[in-house]
């Protein structure tokens, strides 16, 4: 049986070469004649511009990207159209800039331009992909985001350094300017604040803010600022180690000593929401004498 398999393999090999001529190339000349050369155009982000659209600062967004040839010295197309696709849908593509004829070309885009182009505000989670539709000398257009197929203008997509398009995603990056000023208390399980009380947050550093337990219903004597540190990568906040809140509680016996709060970094419990302009944290309360059992949630909303 082993020998039979070898014979069959050899026969198939012979059949595969039937009809081929010694002068034939790997692709027959009549097939080559039907292939239209399409210049490989590359679209790359310029790191001197913004890498994402920060919804907390839409007017400040300025995306920069370059359109050039992938192969240095290659014949350039007569023109390309720069198009933008929303949320990965090839059925929602707009022309951003038509008839680009110079390569390389540097382009910029603002949030206002994107919103106007699609007739809708930019919202959290949106993505916008900028690519190039390539025209050939014969007048044919090869789309980078065609319906129902991969982009014919995508070029050598798996080759080193190639970039078919650049993407700008709408995110809520941490913005320290959001977390300063007057906030309304929505919830305070420790009940030093009542819903509707107001508290002022103060910026301490690019990733820190402070607050004092000095509301109209607070029992903290001589409140002092407690500093919260923000993990700008995941927006979790913490007060670690514990921080002193003031000199004492007005309701506590003298031997209780000074009040403290500790907030463990936990992105599902203690975090900031830049777009919603909200602060949520779960604190552990203690005094010099010891720690109170349990943990208490506080929610603050900027006015």
- pLDDT for 2-19, tens place per residue? 333 333 323 333 344 445
Q: Please list the ranges in the chain whose pLDDT falls under 70.
A: 1-34, 149-158
Distance CA 194, CA 217 (A): 7
- Segments forming the whole domain that contains residue 249: 181-302
Taking the CA atoms of the chain, what radius of gyration do you get in angstroms? 31
Of 195, 198, 280, 201, nearest to 237 (Cα)? 280
Residue 155 lies in a domain: yes
Measured CA to CA, the distance from residue 126 to residue 120 in angstroms comes to: 11
Same domain for 191 and 119: no
φ/ψ region of 148 (left if φ > 0, alpha if ψ in -120 to 50, else beta) reads left
* Whether residue 142 sits in one domain with residue 49: yes
Please report the pLDDT score of residue 151 as a whole number: 61
Same domain, 158 and 208: no
pLDDT for 244 equals 98
pLDDT, one tens digit per residue, over 189-238 is 999 999 999 999 999 999 999 999 999 999 999 999 999 999 999 999 99
Distance, in Å, from the CA atom of 302 to the CA atom of 180, rounded to the nearest integer, reads 9
Domain count, the chain: 2
Determine the pLDDT at residue 39: 87
Is residue 10 situated within a structural domain? no
State whether the Cα torsion 107-109-113-117 is positive or negative. positive
């Amino acid at each position: 049986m082993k020998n039979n398999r070898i014979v069959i393999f050899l026969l198939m090999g012979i059949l595969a070469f039937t009809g081929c001529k010694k002068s034939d190339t790997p692709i027959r000349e009549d097939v080559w004649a039907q292939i239209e050369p399409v210049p490989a155009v590359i679209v790359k982000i310029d790191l001197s511009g913004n890498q994402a659209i920060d919804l907390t600062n839409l007017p400040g967004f300025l995306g920069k990207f370059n359109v050039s040839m992938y192969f240095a010295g290659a014949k350039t197309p007569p023109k390309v159209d720069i198009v933008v696709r929303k949320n990965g849908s090839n059925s929602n593509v707009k022309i951003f800039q038509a008839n680009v004829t110079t390569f390389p070309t540097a382009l910029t885009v603002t949030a206002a331009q994107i919103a106007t182009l699609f007739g809708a505000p930019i919202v959290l989670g949106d993505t916008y992909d900028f690519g190039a539709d390539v025209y050939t000398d014969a007048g044919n257009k090869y789309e980078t985001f065609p319906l129902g197929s991969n982009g014919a203008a995508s070029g050598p997509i798996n080759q080193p350094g190639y970039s078919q398009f650049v993407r700008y995603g709408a995110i809520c990056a941490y913005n320290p300017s959001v977390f300063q000023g007057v906030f309304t208390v929505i919830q305070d399980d420790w009940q030093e604040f009542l819903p509707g009380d107001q508290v002022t947050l103060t910026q301490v550093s690019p990733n820190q803010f402070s607050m004092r337990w000095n509301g109209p219903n607070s029992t903290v004597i001589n409140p002092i600022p407690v500093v919260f540190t923000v993990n700008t990568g995941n927006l979790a906040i913490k007060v670690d180690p514990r921080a002193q809140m003031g000199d004492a509680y007005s309701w506590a016996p003298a031997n209780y000593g000074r009040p403290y709060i500790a907030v463990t970094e936990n992105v599902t419990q203690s975090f900031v929401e830049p777009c919603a302009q909200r602060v949520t944290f779960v604190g552990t309360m203690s005094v010099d004498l010891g720690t109170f059992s349990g943990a208490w949630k506080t929610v603050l909303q900027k006015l």
